[in-house]
Chain A
């Protein structure tokens, strides 16, 4: 009864399908054209922009990977993303556990303190951050990025995880405590496995924006060998700006990991990235 009630048969159903199809085309066609162009020569891109490539040659990809430091950019992005996400998830879980399961004076205050970070865009504090990183000798190191991503991701992690820890039944930790388990064992063996779905949400919510971030590398990183993928892309575009074949190959290469991951984990991605804006 319910599904049927949501779709009464009517005349505008074909129209609705046309709209959905049109939007799917609008989303996919540019990306497909980008991917196809990556296999073409520059001359081919100009002469037959919409056709299939004459040969499926990987030459553009090879050239970009070898000449344009894409390997370095990928590696830096990977290090920064994995390290900052690891710190952020571990500290977020510890904080969420303490705030969600322990009652103590200052609990609410601390919770609000972390949440205030959700309201104030940290980028606006870029001048003091730049000076702070300079004083700590962290400018032009990957640590500058790891620390700012881990710290600025804490509010969302604390918000999501505290909420999850609060919903777990009360008897769980008390029972373990009576059995003589230490707080650390209760946290890691009893509680953490139960909030796994929340850990996935927190990870995706943070990992994608960190992987894609352009702003902090732009300010903190100067050496070409330390650039992350988004920042490296701008260097690459400056060097190759007339070489369309290389440019499209670079773009495709840069987009590929996230697209591949999305194809496999799309439901997690959607849930993770809309967390906070969507309930449940």
Chain B
């Protein structure tokens, strides 16, 4: 017969005294039955509403999303079973393969650039902040501020600043004697995606910074002391001790960056529009999925079957990366314990 909570189970094992009571286990047997029943009732009361809500609005839609991908659709009405037909169309019927490859490639660029610019900068800032410079607390608060702002606000703010004629960015460049560099940052296919990724990095930079900072501060001081006494330079301390011990934080940030990059939607939608202009230079999977699901503005093309197929592929990729990241962290934790 199981005793109370998990924690109680551990407490029992640790202490020589017999455990006083679990919810049911250690009670007098005569009252066992009614207590069992009332305990069941309480469990239903505590768990029932949450399970019902979660099952209806999370599990059921996710399972349906998988199911939808193997049916044909007319508008919002489900038709016949088509097996993998939607996936075949996604990969073989014009214009889907081209759109898919284009959007996927952009997600990859966003991920790589975010890793390179935002997360490396975050790591650098964290390494500096971890040395406890004057004002470190204030810097922490300032750096994290944009993370709390809505991407809609951030996107619109930068769109105004980057306006080719009236925006302050080109005016500032001109004032600095760099008028030659001024360009329509968001209107030029060469620079639009990179600019958008940098706006995103402006908003998010504080997040990896503080996650890395927490990771560095968790490194035991004795390790750093010992290394310095052995004559290790600062660079060596960072490379040989801090970075290896930072692996869990790095895993978390890489995983979250990946999921964020492949879920990218708000910023390109708000700043550029649903079709990923100019000329699909900022089209990403999130926009493509949205357009196939709810209809394209320019062509009126709506195909819930193909849209669901895109969703399933994204589920698989993101679920795999998230699971892999979680498993790696779990293994690391066990190793370190």
Contacts and interface: CB of A to CB of B under 8 A. Distances in A.
A120 B318 contact: yes
Interface in A1-34: 2-3, 5-8, 10, 13, 16-17, 19-20, 23-24, 26-28, 30-31, 33-34
Interface in B170-219: 171-172, 202, 205-207, 210-211, 214-215, 218
A94 B46 contact: yes
B56 interface: yes
A131 interface: yes
B68 A154 contact: no
Interface in A86-117: 87, 91-92, 94-95, 97-104, 110, 113-114, 117
Interface residues of A, number: 109
A49 B64 CA distance: 51
A214 B152 CA distance: 7
Nearest to B315: A124
B87 interface: no
A23 B143 contact: yes
A230 B149 CA distance: 11
A117 B54 contact: yes
15 contacts: A17-B134, A20-B139, A97-B46, A103-B22, A113-B54, A113-B59, A117-B54, A119-B319, A124-B289, A127-B311, A158-B50, A174-B8, A174-B22, A211-B150, A277-B252
Nearest to A34: B157
Interface string B152-169: 110011101100001010
Contact of B142 (A27, A46, A233): A27
Nearest to B171: A49
Contacts of A117: 54, 58
Contacts of A215: 265-266
Interface in A137-186: 147-148, 150-152, 154-155, 158, 165-171, 173-175, 177-178, 183
Given A120-B315, A278-B210, A94 B47 contact: yes
B11 A170 contact: yes
B128 A16 contact: yes
B185 to A, nearest CB: 14
A68 interface: no
A199 interface: no
Given A132-B60, A214-B151, A91 B50 contact: yes
A147 B53 contact: yes
A147 B202 CA distance: 31
A184 to B, nearest CB: 8
A185 to B, nearest CB: 12
A123 B289 CA distance: 10
Given A28-B142, A170-B11, A266-B141, A5 B224 contact: yes
Given A6-B224, A20-B125, A91-B53, A219 B294 contact: yes
B83 interface: no
A59 interface: no
Interface of A: 2-3, 5-8, 10, 13, 16-17, 19-20, 23-24, 26-28, 30-31, 33-34, 45-46, 49-50, 87, 91-92, 94-95, 97-104, 110, 113-114, 117-132, 134, 147-148, 150-152, 154-155, 158, 165-171, 173-175, 177-178, 183, 187, 208, 211-212, 214-215, 218-219, 229-230, 233-234, 237, 244, 247-248, 251, 254-255, 258-259, 262, 266, 269-270, 273-274, 277-279
Nearest to B64: A128
Contacts of A167: 7
Contacts of B259: 121
B294 A151 contact: no
Given A100-B6, A103-B9, A152-B57, A269 B166 contact: no
Given A30-B161, A94-B47, A177-B21, 5 more contacts: A98-B42, A102-B5, A131-B76, A158-B50, A258-B150
A94 to B, nearest CB: 4
Contacts of A214: 150-152, 266, 269-270
A230 B152 contact: yes
Contacts of A229: 150
